Amino acid sequence: MLDLTKKRIVVTGGGGFLGSFVVDSLKARGCESVFVPRKRDYDLTRMDGIEKMFADAQPEVIFHLAAVVGGIGANRINPGSFFYENAIMGIQLIEAARMHKVEKTLIAGSICAYPKFTPVPFKEEDLWNGYPEETNAPYGVAKKALLVQSQAYRQQYGLNSIFVMPVNLYGPRDNFDLQSSHVIPALIRKALEAKEAGLDELVGWGDGSPTREFLYVEDAAEGLITAAASYDGEEPVNLGSGYEISIKDLMELVARLSGFEGRIVWDTGQPNGQPRRRLDTTRAESYFGFKARTSLEQGLQKTIAWYKENRPETAGA
């Protein structure tokens, strides 16, 4: 068991959605030296930015959570930059961790790395059995390359680097910009605005048939920290709730919790994305005792309440 409270810790992406909860949780556990590199000061797509971060923070433990992410629309518009920036950040960071003899490096992967038609539930050993779903393949392949690097560096250099793959996250502080958000914040915003505007219908993308698994962000933060403290293996590990819901049922649940009482219609001209997603979470429970604690309905209630309190003044006006 690694005592994180005694370590100098860097959390890349620590100002972002997941990262901010990881930072909060580390500090709540008594970690006093937690460094968050801001993009304006440290460009992690450049080696000189990474070296500046290492010089300033001298990390003993790294949580690499920084990523360029978005929903289906953002992935379709930015496939090149999503591939390059996610790949180059991780590749250079892992190399720097090797050069600076970092004690523990956690790389946050993505379930977008899984093949499009992975048998459900997704098992980690199925990662290489096909090509990812096309709309997010550049992002998924970039992340999967970091798994290869992590394992190769462990084999050649003895780098203690672990690779954890969170499922779709949601919760307070999420991105609610409809141009780049993921499905849950987009649905919450649309449902609340439709209710407040007195609209009688809410439009969803695709046909509602795909299924997804969601993990509440505070649970995810706890899972990553527990893995960093307790897991030292080379195998990738899924991090999820183990609960699968269709987009149709999800949209009806969000509408109910948001108070929207109109009808839901589907824009079948828009893509569905991957047909099903649910993770096998056996490894996380077996290797470091992680099990999600927050139900989807509880998490959605907390997320909706947070968004109502924190959205821009113009929303719903």
Could you give the CA distance from residue 46 to residue 54 in angstroms, rounded to a whole number? 13
CA dihedral 260, 261, 266, 270 (to 10 degrees): -10
Could you give the CA distance from residue 217 to residue 203 in angstroms, rounded to a whole number? 26
Please check whether residue 122 is in contact with residue 280, taking contact to mean a CB–CB distance below 8 angstroms: yes
HSE (side-chain half, CA atoms, 13 Å) at 77: 9
Collapsed DSSP state (helix, strand, coil) of residue 95: helix
Tens digit of pLDDT at every position of the chain (317 positions): 999 999 999 999 999 999 999 999 999 999 999 999 999 999 999 999 999 999 999 999 999 999 987 666 666 788 899 999 999 999 999 999 999 999 999 999 999 899 988 999 999 999 999 999 888 899 999 999 999 999 999 999 999 999 999 999 999 999 999 887 888 999 999 999 999 999 999 998 899 999 999 999 999 999 999 999 999 999 999 999 999 999 999 999 999 999 999 999 999 998 887 788 899 999 999 999 999 999 999 999 999 999 999 998 644 43
Predicted model pTM: 0.92
pLDDT of residue 315: 46
pLDDT of residue 231: 98
pLDDT of residue 70: 65
pLDDT of residue 313: 64
223: left (phi over 0), alpha (psi -120 to 50) or beta: alpha
Mean pLDDT taken over the chain: 94
- The arrangement of strands across the sheet holding 104-108 comes to 34-35, 9-12, 61-64, 104-108, 161-166, 237-239
Q: Which residues are catalytic?
A: 139
103-115 residue pLDDT tens: 999 999 999 899 9
Could you give the CA distance from residue 207 to residue 200 in angstroms, rounded to a whole number? 19
HSE (side-chain half, CA atoms, 13 Å) at 215: 29
212-222 residue pLDDT tens: 999 999 999 99
pLDDT of residue 196: 95
pLDDT of residue 52: 98
Q: How many CB atoms lie within 10 A of CB 3?
A: 10
| Dihedral pair phi/psi, residue 13, rounded to 5° | 75, 15
Collapsed DSSP state (helix, strand, coil) of residue 215: strand
- Nearest residue to 126 via CA among 277, 227, 286: 277
193-235 residue pLDDT tens: 999 999 999 998 899 999 999 999 999 999 999 999 999 999 9
CATH number of 4-170+215-241+278-293: 3.40.50.720
Please check whether residue 74 is in contact with residue 180, taking contact to mean a CB–CB distance below 8 angstroms: yes
Q: How many CB atoms lie within 10 A of CB 168?
A: 18
308-317 residue pLDDT tens: 999 986 444 3
Collapsed DSSP state (helix, strand, coil) of residue 277: coil
Could you give the CA distance from residue 40 to residue 34 in angstroms, rounded to a whole number? 18
